[in-house]
Amino acid sequence: MTHAQRFRDVYEECYPRVLAYATSLVGRQIGEDITSETFTVAWRRVRDIPHPALPWLLGVARNLVRELHRRDAHQYVLAAEEAQRISSGAQTDVGDIAAEVTDRHNALQALASLPEADRELLALIAWHGLSAKEAAQVLDCTTATLTVRLYRARRRLEKALEAAPLSEAASTPPVEASYPTHHEGAPA
């Protein structure tokens, strides 16, 4: 396999996940730039790319984000873009939708209250689907250390979720959505 083919294979396999990771760290626009730079580094170091490539690439992206923050003197931001779409026409219970929105809001609030290291670790495991071993490679620590950190981060997240105030929307009983019906004498 040529170096160009190896790079092409790695790019096609890993690009979406590297972009998602970078976007979760710095937002969509800068995430795209970080992803491009990550693959520029990968091209220059194609001989050094291990199997599997994803943890290595996420480590490169992470280092580029750190470098960006040092250079720009900005505070590190973990901002996961979430595109919420309710596309199912089957859900007509307004109370269920309100509860879902409230639950999501409370979860994001609890996550935002955690230390930066906890947010990054939970994002790698839960949102980006990495194994403990892969996440340890990204964070440059042992799998054992990562496992302990993950356990502690999950406990802190549980406590933050328990402390989340129950909003009025979540405590309101469900309201059935009503739709106009055709009545005799009314235009169809």
Q: 49 and 102 share a domain?
A: no
pLDDT of residue 98: 64
Q: 43 and 101 share a domain?
A: no
Q: 66 and 98 share a domain?
A: no
Structural domain includes residue 86: no
pLDDT of residue 95: 61
| Structural domain range at position 26 | 3-72
* 56 backbone dihedrals φ, ψ, rounded to 5°: -65, -45
Compute the half-sphere exposure of residue 173: CA atoms within 13 Å on the CB side of its CA: 1
pLDDT by 10s per residue, the chain, length 188? 899 999 999 999 999 999 999 999 889 999 999 999 999 999 999 999 999 999 999 999 999 998 887 665 433 333 333 333 334 444 445 566 666 667 777 777 888 888 888 888 888 888 888 888 988 998 989 999 999 999 999 999 888 888 876 544 444 444 443 434 444 444 44
Structural domain includes residue 44: yes
d(CA 42, CA 174): 52
Q: 105 and 165 share a domain?
A: yes
Q: Is there a contact between 172 and 93 (Cβ–Cβ < 8 Å)?
A: no
List the CATH number of the domain containing 132: 1.10.10.10
How many domains does the chain fold into? 2
pTM of the predicted model as reported, rounded to 2 decimal places: 0.53
Question: Which ranges constitute the DSSP H helices of 27-115?
Answer: 28-44, 54-72, 94-112
Domain final residue pick, 41, 72, 103: 72
Using alpha carbons only, how large is the chain's radius of gyration in Å?
Answer: 22
- Residue from 79, 70, 93, 89 nearest 30 by CA: 79
pLDDT of residue 164: 72
Specify the residue for token string 């209250």. Answer: 113
